A = this chain, B = another copy of it.
Amino acid sequence: MYSMGTSTAERLIESTRELLWERGYAATSPKAIQQRAGAGQGSMYHHFAGKPDLALAAITRTAQEMRAKAEAQFSTPGTAVERITAYLLREREVLKGCPIGGLTQDPDLMADPALRAPVEETLAWLRGRLAEVVAEGCRDGELDAALDPQTTAAAIVAVLQGGYVLARAADSVDPFDQAVTGALGLLAGRTTSA
């Protein structure tokens, strides 16, 4: 039997995930992680080699989670436009920003190839996967065949990532919602029914 309680290592990873999202990599200190996890210094350095090692565990898990949530929307029953719409309108903690995209701004994290890799791979996968959905829509005659799936998908993902930026700047979800609404409005003009 495995322990049924939450292990110290587990609490350290979850605390790191939260702090990475709230404060970023550079601004997150081992001390802050330990305090949130209710663990001492020695405990942290027993389970992890250091701050980068712990961050890697946290980022890997967050990336996996983000991918799973997106895939859940993309592989749902419905037309391509319905699935894209559902993905765009999915509930998000907008003011906290994207837990993966936000890391892009952290110079120390991006300088470490191991930490950078999951960020790069996750967003590349997202663009590629969404391009497949757009391509389905074009193939099925639901979307204008003149639309390029790859660039259209990149624009849609960018609207989300940029929406987070605008919302954080305004300290309001409004710009995010407006950007999504605007993107859906532009897309609506390229559907067969339009």
The interface size of chain A toward B, counting residues with CB under 8 Å, comes to 59
* Interface 0/1 of A168-184, CB less than 8 Å to B: 11110001101111110
Shortest distance from the beta carbon of A94 to any chain B beta carbon, whole Å: 12
A155 is an interface residue with CB less than 8 A from chain B: yes
A78 is an interface residue with CB less than 8 A from chain B: no
> Which residues of B are found within 8 Å of A159, using beta-carbon distances?
155, 158-159, 162
Residue pair A101, B165 in contact (C-beta under 8 Å): yes
| Nearest residue, chain B, Cβ from A98 | B165
Give the segment of A5-13, A22-30, A49-57 that binds chain B: A22-30
- Contact status of A23 and B165, CB under 8 A, knowing A179-B155, A182-B154: no
Residue pair A165, B169 in contact (C-beta under 8 Å): no
Would you list which residues of chain A between 74 and 125 have a CB under 8 Å from chain B?
A: 97-98, 101-102, 104-108, 110, 116, 119-120, 123-124
